[in-house]
């Protein structure tokens, strides 16, 4: 299987620069996508702000003790590490790699994809 290639986008000089909400999440816009950022166990994780079930605003949910984002609408849970629907309904949350580097906080968007396969 081919490794995924990412284009990295700098979203802040440092994590403290982001506008963190009380629930431990921040939202950024990259190329028209709203991406939620969460800090969990000293790492950062990026994921779609839109719940894959019915579009609920995940940025208004919360991160549970084991690293799931819990949707505020119907309480489905998704791992912020891999997008797995840990409450078992069969949906998948889009996740984005996040890296905190000496020169800033970066989010990776996959290069290529279905529209670029030719």
* Contact residues for ligand FES, defined by CB under 6 A: 51, 53-56, 71, 73-74, 76
Closer by beta carbon to ligand FES, 52 or else 67:
52
Q: SS3 for 25?
A: strand
Please report the sign of the dihedral spanned by the C-alpha atoms of residue 75, residue 29, residue 114, residue 2. Answer: negative
Closer by beta carbon to ligand FES, 46 or else 61:
61
Name the minimum Å distance from CB 33 to ligand FES: 18
Query: What tokens does 50 get?
Result: 């839109």
Name the minimum Å distance from CB 39 to ligand FES: 22
Collect all residues with Cβ–Cβ distance below 8 Å to 42 and sequence separation of at least 6.
none
Closer by beta carbon to ligand FES, 15 or else 72:
72
- Residue 73 and residue 46 in contact, taking contact as beta carbons nearer than 8 Å: no
Name the minimum Å distance from CB 102 to ligand FES: 36
Name the minimum Å distance from CB 60 to ligand FES: 10
Collect all residues with Cβ–Cβ distance below 8 Å to 53 and sequence separation of at least 6.
71, 73, 74, 76, 89, 91
Closer by beta carbon to ligand FES, 60 or else 99:
60
């Amino acid at each position: 299987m081919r490794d995924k290639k990412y284009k990295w986008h700098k979203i802040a000089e440092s994590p403290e620069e982001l506008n963190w909400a009380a629930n431990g999440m921040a939202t950024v816009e990259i190329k028209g996508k709203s991406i939620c950022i969460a800090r969990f166990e000293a790492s950062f994780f990026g994921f779609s702000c839109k719940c894959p079930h019915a579009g609920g605003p995940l940025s208004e949910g919360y991160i549970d003790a084991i690293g799931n984002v819990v949707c505020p609408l119907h309480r489905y849970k998704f791992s912020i590490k891999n997008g797995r629907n840990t409450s078992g309904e069969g949906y998948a949350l889009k996740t984005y790699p996040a890296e905190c580097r000496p020169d800033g906080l970066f989010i990776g968007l996959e290069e290529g994809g279905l529209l670029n396969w030719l």
